[in-house]
Amino acid sequence: MRSVSEIPSSIRGLREQYRTHQASPRKVVELALKRANSNASHNVYLARDDDWTRNELEQLLAQDPGDSEAFEKQPLWGVPVSLKDCFDLEGYITTCGSRFLGASRTPASADSSVASRLKRAGAIITGKTHLHQLAYGITGENRDFGNCLQPAHARLLTGGSSSGAAASVQEGSAMAAIGTDTGGSIRVPAALCGLAGYRCSITLSTANEFEIWRGGDHLALSFDTIGWLYRDLGDGPLLGAALFGLLHAKAPDPQGLRIGMPNASFLHDCEEEVLAALEHWASLLRSRGAQVVPFDAGIWREAMDLYAPLQANEAAALHPEPRDGFEPVIAERLRWGGSLSASELAEFRRRLTSFCQTSEQKLKDIDFVLLPCSPTAELRADENQSATRLQILRYTTPVSLLGWPAVTLPGRRGGPQLVGKLDADAELLALSAALPH
């Protein structure tokens, strides 16, 4: 049996070592637990219990050893996975990043749908991870639980709101991390931490009356999506099958694919490192035979003007007064969202419909879109990030308004997002998995 330090970073590689008895699930899980909360702020997880996690593993290992098909039927068998603390886990209080909210709740009496799906797939949940209050932020900051710092770079924020999710994968306490993405909350921390990240199509979130959200805290129902952060793009289809039941799709042949990329004027505020990462992936796609086609993304400049009020209004409906226990900036957004009149909201929704129709028409001959997740490759923990938030959201909210799926491409900080069209999740995951990385 191999030393645990040699266990591969990909879930597929770990499964092969389990299959050939070259790795021990007990040793893998113990190493994951030892790595937990290794960042300087020691707050990757807001709730964890090593004995509970060990017990979950023992229950998995106690399954009928004569059932040779069990391993194959459980694509995440023995894989450490973290869970964002906006999803219920039986016996734990779901804080959604807020002590004020957590104090009003009792421990969950049942697992959320996401946690149940993970367990059915054989995953070992390592704990519940850090997030912005209410998942309402993009930087990784949190007044109640401290700002989430990158385990690999103590002076840098992870990004958010799936901040602990990103940190758990970066530190190695999880091989995949469940997160949510409303306005960029998976894509941004993945990009800032050099990881892969996937957000699903809005239709996967809303299917069967939001069944996958059972036992989960919403921020804004019209825009909330679920996904994960991970290291190896090749694991995307496997995770898609485990969480959403997505059938493995054949990767689209890059030869002849048309990849849309916003023109230079839209990218005017991007740092050199971000542009270099964008060009790296564009060049790789070209080398595979794809056409990278610039397009005028002028209409996307108004995305934040539409997203902010519509999101705030939906969040306000979910979190009525009293709100004084939330961070002042979040309480202010909620009050603003709740103050919008019916006529104002109707106008924003009319403009949203026009935005989506115009975007879809402009991109009708495009197969996928490639653009930055963030104009900056890092967020320093000692700097005020209030202005940066708006700059980042300009790159993520167009996709959120359209409800399209996206994969953050890893390998270097500031990685871009490869965006598929609505319901092209399996094809997007297959294409990204087939790219060299």
Q: Low-confidence residues of the chain, pLDDT below 50?
A: 3
Burial (CB count within 10 angstroms: exposed 0-12, middle 13-18, buried 19+), residue 367:
buried
84 in catalytic set: yes
Mean pLDDT (the chain) is: 96
161 in catalytic set: yes
pLDDT digits (tens, 9 = 90+) for 329-364: 999 999 999 999 999 999 999 999 999 999 999 999
Of these residues, 41, 113, 161, 173, which one is catalytic?
161
Give the model's pLDDT for residue 65.
59
Give the model's pLDDT for residue 64.
66
Q: How far apart are CA 42 and CA 101, in angstroms?
A: 22
Q: What angle do CA 347, 352, 355 make, to 5 degrees?
A: 130
Give the model's pLDDT for residue 305.
97
- Residues 370 and 358 sit within 8 Å (Cβ to Cβ): no
Of these residues, 41, 82, 84, 173, which one is catalytic?
84
Total number of domains constituting the chain: 1
Of these residues, 162, 163, 173, 185, which one is catalytic?
185
Residue (of 335, 336, 340, 407) closest to 369 by Cα position? 407
Give the model's pLDDT for residue 68.
66
pLDDT digits (tens, 9 = 90+) for 25-55: 999 999 999 999 999 999 999 999 999 999 9
Residue (of 337, 118, 304, 393) closest to 228 by Cα position? 118
Three-state DSSP string of the chain? CCCHHHCCCCHHHHHHHHHCCCCCHHHHHHHHHHHCCCCCCCCCEEECCHHHHHHHHHHHHCCCCCCCHHHHHCCCCCCEEEEECCECCCCCCCCCCCHHHHHCCCCCCCCCHHHHHHHHCCCEEEEEECCCHHHCCCCCCCCCCCCCEECCEEEEECCCCCHHHHHHHHHCCCCEEEEEECCCCCHHHHHHCCCEEEECCHHHHHHHHHHHHCCECCCCCCCCEEEEEECCHHHHHHHHHHHHCCCCCCCCCCCCCEEEEECCCCCCCCCHHHHHHHHHHHHHHHHCCCEEEEECCHHHHHHHHHHHHHHHHHHHHHCCCCCCCCCHHHHHHHHHHHHCCHHHHHHHHHHHHHHHHHHHHHCCCCCEEEEECCCCCCCECCCCCHHHHHHHHHHHHHHHHHCCCEEECCCCCCCEEEECCCCCHHHHHHHHHHCCC
Residue 159 backbone dihedrals phi, psi, to 5 degrees? 85, 165
- Long-range CB pairs of 337-343, under 8 A, 24+ apart, other chains included: 337/309, 337/311, 337/312, 337/313, 338/312, 338/313, 340/309, 340/312, 340/313
Whole domain around residue 283: which residue ranges? 4-434
Crossing angle of helices 328-339/303-318, nearest 10°? 100
| CATH for 133 | 3.90.1300.10
Residue 210: CA atoms inside 13 Å, Cβ hemisphere, count?
Answer: 13
- Residues 2 and 9 sit within 8 Å (Cβ to Cβ): no
Q: What angle do CA 372, 376, 381 make, to 5 degrees?
A: 140
**CA dist list (Å): 167 to 288, 317, 381:** 32, 31, 14
pTM over 0.85: yes
185 in catalytic set: yes
